[in-house]
A and B are shown apart, each in its own frame.
Chain A
Amino acid sequence: MGKVHMRVYRGNSEGGQLKDYNVQAEEGMVVLDVIHKIQATQSSDLACRWNCKAGKCGSCSAEINGKPRLMCMTRMNEFKEDEIITVMPMKTFPIMKDLATDVSFNYEINKRIPPFTPVEGADWHWEQEDVDRVQEFRKCIECFLCQDTCHVLRDHDKMAKFAGPRFFVRIASLEMHPIDALDRTALLKNEHGIGLCNITKCCTEVCPESIHITDNAIIPLKERVVDKYYDPLRILWNKVFGK
């Protein structure tokens, strides 16, 4: 590989701009390597967050050529030679410096989800089929790329009313849990605003763990909300059979 043309966002909460860098890239590099090379050879004050370089810690989220992706999982050889590669921090979260954003909004949401609470006297032995469905949700690496892409947060700024896809995934993992005792349906509808999601699936498109966020977490949760609030026959059924 020869020289690559990078265009990286430099700035902080006051504002910023894109800055061009020409970098000598080596065979097998990922975008994160090139960012590190810029740090090492041209701008030692360029800020970025990373940890594992293996797509598992969820730290290096950014927007590469406009697409929310992990920098460590984006190979340089997928770009054309002499293509300008733009690297931006995630748009939805407040910027700290350069590529590092403040994602603490997510941790605040997380605190508002009642944790796993086993039913009393639960039998802890289950069959694999019981486990499989919630296992998918456990793959989440909390990269928050889905939160970044979701237009409810990104374009409509509904931070105060909407938990976002990552947390629907977490709630699904609890709600579908075989021995969890709590019912978070009311919370989902009211405080976490699942009705604001219009199932347009961008979260699913960007998830680096390929979690079927919309089909397996959000839509099944929406159906549970329908059971409880919008389906007259179901509500009647539950009343009669005392559910």
Chain B
Amino acid sequence: MAMDVRTKRGLGVTLRKDAWWLEPLFYQCLFGGFVVYATWAALNPYGPNGKAYYEYGPYLSPMFSPFFNPDWLHKLPAWLATPALLVLWAPAGFRGTCYYYRKAYYRSIFMDPPGCAVGESCVKYQGESKFFIFQNIHRYFFYVALLFIFVLSWDAILAMMWPVNGIGPDNHSNLGPKEFGVGVGTIVMALNAYLLGGYTLGCHAFRHLVGGGLDFLRVKKNNPIRFALWSVVTKLNERHMQWALVSMLWVGFTDFYIRMCAMGVWHDVRFFGFINKIGHIFGAAT
């Protein structure tokens, strides 16, 4: 008798007829592509003649923010001595232990399972009870990520302060007074902070912290603020996947945009310069 279809097992064994393999393939390409770009960008902060590629005037790439460049860093092998090294561990740890990303990479990278009701190769399975038990550290990465929202929002504010004396050939702002201005890059950076905020504040660990850990007894009377917070976080949490993916792509794009400006490939358009002009007229008049 032929093998019983009911008991057949193994990687990819299923009676599903839809293209279940499309989802893991999509995420392999997406995550693979992002990791390759982020690694390359992190390891290539400088162009020829020490030209900075991580900034352009008031713009600072989120992959290098907060920016630290201590001397000891340059004792490392040259290819590794990038300021991004001091930054990227935090978002990488945060996203790597995020409940959403865990789902996505257990499925698409570890194939455990590759799809629902799709067979897998049965190696000794421990779930998150042995090796992956470290995922429980997620809330600590969340605390760090919370700081990053402030840092990146501050960066977006600084991205409105343009050097009156222009931008030097190394892409640093020239010394001297600053004037208000909003460029496309400012909007790109502000959007980046906003998207990261939506992603971070929808975190499951945060949802638990603000109110999920309570049993909600007399919530209105005893914990009205926590209930309100929990409700907002829950709203964000319902779209956590979307926030996670869009914010990830936007971080990549923000770095790419600033890099392109820094390389002189793209020319940043600045709006609101006229406000300064008006300011100058008034300044001259008084």
Give chain A's interface residues, CB within 8 Å of chain B.
Answer: 9, 11, 15-18, 63, 65-68, 86, 88-89, 91, 95, 126-127, 129-130, 133, 149, 151-152, 154-156, 158, 175-180, 193, 195-202, 205-206, 214-215, 219-220, 222-224, 226-227, 230-231
Chain B residues near A17 (CB, 8 Å)? Answer: 1-2, 4-5
CB distance from A108 to the nearest CB of B (A): 21
CB distance from B98 to the nearest CB of A (A): 10
Are B112 and A151 in touch, CB under 8 angstroms?
yes
Known contacts A17-B2, A88-B6, A155-B9; A195/B129 CB under 8 A: yes
Are B117 and A63 in touch, CB under 8 angstroms?
yes
B71 sits at the interface (CB 8 A): no
Are B216 and A66 in touch, CB under 8 angstroms?
no
Are A200 and B103 in touch, CB under 8 angstroms?
yes
Known contacts A151-B113, A223-B208; A198/B102 CB under 8 A: yes
Are A68 and B4 in touch, CB under 8 angstroms?
no
Q: Mark B209-245, 1 if CB is under 8 A from A, else 0.
A: 0001101111110000001000000000110100000
* SS class, residues of chain B in contact with chain A: loop
Are B219 and A129 in touch, CB under 8 angstroms?
yes
How far is B4's CA from A11's CA once the two chains are assembled, in angstroms?
Answer: 10
Are A130 and B216 in touch, CB under 8 angstroms?
yes
Pick 9 A–B contacts, CB within 8 A, sort by A.
Answer: A17-B4, A63-B117, A66-B15, A88-B5, A155-B113, A175-B215, A179-B217, A202-B113, A202-B116
Chain B residues near A63 (CB, 8 Å)? Answer: 15, 117
Which of B17, B120, B213, B215 has a CB less than 8 Å from the CB of A151? B120
Nearest neighbor of B238 in chain A, beta-carbon distance = A215
Are A195 and B128 in touch, CB under 8 angstroms?
yes
Measured as residues with beta carbon below 8 angstroms from the partner, the interface class of chain B is 35 or more
A-B pairs with lowest CB-CB distance, top 10: A195-B129, A66-B16, A66-B15, A202-B116, A196-B127, A223-B208, A230-B136, A151-B113, A156-B125, A178-B217
Which of A9, A193, A220, A231 has a CB less than 8 Å from the CB of B6? A9
Q: Which of B1, B113, B119, B128 is the most central at the interface, judged by chain A CB atoms within 10 Å of its CB?
A: B113
Are B215 and A224 in touch, CB under 8 angstroms?
no
Are B6 and A11 in touch, CB under 8 angstroms?
yes
Are A178 and B120 in touch, CB under 8 angstroms?
no
Are B208 and A158 in touch, CB under 8 angstroms?
no
CB distance from A40 to the nearest CB of B (A): 25
Which of A16, A205, A222 has a CB less than 8 Å from the CB of B4? A16
Chain B residues near A227 (CB, 8 Å)? Answer: 208, 213
Chain A residues near B2 (CB, 8 Å)? Answer: 17
Residues facing A in B89-146 (CB within 8 A) are 99, 102-103, 106-107, 112-113, 116-117, 119-120, 122, 125-129, 132-133, 136-137, 139
CB distance from B241 to the nearest CB of A (A): 10
Give chain B's interface residues, CB within 8 Å of chain A.
Answer: 1-2, 4-6, 9, 14-17, 99, 102-103, 106-107, 112-113, 116-117, 119-120, 122, 125-129, 132-133, 136-137, 139, 204-205, 207-208, 212-213, 215-220, 227, 237-238, 240
Known contacts A195-B133, A198-B102, A219-B99; A18/B5 CB under 8 A: yes
Chain A residues near B216 (CB, 8 Å)? Answer: 129-130, 133, 176, 178
Are A15 and B4 in touch, CB under 8 angstroms?
yes
How far is B19's CA from A152's CA once the two chains are assembled, in angstroms?
Answer: 23
Known contacts A155-B120, A224-B213; A198/B220 CB under 8 A: no
Chain A residues near B127 (CB, 8 Å)? Answer: 152, 193, 195-198
Are B218 and A126 in touch, CB under 8 angstroms?
yes
Are A89 and B6 in touch, CB under 8 angstroms?
yes
Nearest neighbor of B10 in chain A, beta-carbon distance = A155
CB distance from A46 to the nearest CB of B (A): 16
Are A156 and B6 in touch, CB under 8 angstroms?
no
Chain A residues near B220 (CB, 8 Å)? Answer: 127, 129
CB distance from B262 to the nearest CB of A (A): 40
